[in-house]
Amino acid sequence: MKAVLDHVGIAVKDLPAALAFYRDALGLIVEAPEEVVSQRVRAHFIPVGESSLELLEATAPDSPIAKYIEKRGPGLHHITLRVDDINAALAQLRARGARLIDEKPRPGAEGALVAFIHPASAHGVLVELKQLAAHRSPAPSPQSPVPSPTTPPVFQPAAHRATSTAVRSSRGSQSRPSASIR
């Protein structure tokens, strides 16, 4: 199974403070948020090179992210590895005795299929596997960045946004180093 780093999930308790740091202090562009209703979470993706950061904001007090923050506080939540065939990846992990949180893939952000590997099998790290949606076009419509309330919004020309979004969406088809899980 080949895998590449897709994103790093960060649980945030105070979204305005997190945005002030990532968007305002670091100058990164935050994509428009996406609600993942099944997980009661709002995801804010921040492209960084060929991967991204995902700020995870709980939308309900009983959501997995809210429970995580209550128990461990805000911070690094998971890493996500993108795979071509999530079912084959899960079968391989199962055959090797890995403890899985999700036995079957489920819908995740960006229209992808996702499944989590228990931290006990990944040396204390929550690992998410992600398979991009098959129906996803290589160049989706650009999303507007989330503007800062204290600084003027950063607007990219439409051509630049479309290019950077297309690169982010087609990461799996780019030729770049990948990890092989054996």
Per residue in 40-59, pLDDT tens? 999 999 999 999 999 999 99
Per residue in 100-152, pLDDT tens? 999 999 999 999 999 999 999 999 999 999 999 875 443 333 444 555 554 43
pLDDT at residue 13, rounded to an integer: 96
pLDDT at residue 147, rounded to an integer: 53
Is the pLDDT score of 155 beyond 80? no
In angstroms, rounded to a whole number, what is the distance separating the alpha carbons of residues 26 and 46?
11
pLDDT at residue 4, rounded to an integer: 97
Q: Which domains does the chain have, with CATH numbers?
A: 2-180 (3.10.180.10)
Any alpha helices (H) in the chain, and if so which ranges?
A: 15-19, 64-72, 86-95, 158-169
pLDDT at residue 1, rounded to an integer: 83
In angstroms, rounded to a whole number, what is the distance separating the alpha carbons of residues 55 and 146?
13
| pTM of the full structure | 0.74
A 10 A CB-CB count for 108 gives: 22
Q: How many CA atoms lie within 13 A of 79 on its CB side?
A: 10
Strands 41-48 and 127-131: unpaired
The sign of the CA dihedral 112, 59, 37, 35 is negative
Identity at 43, one-letter amino acid code = A
In angstroms, rounded to a whole number, what is the distance separating the alpha carbons of residues 37 and 18?
21
Q: Which two tokens stand for residue 146?
A: 């989330």
Is the pLDDT score of 87 beyond 60? yes
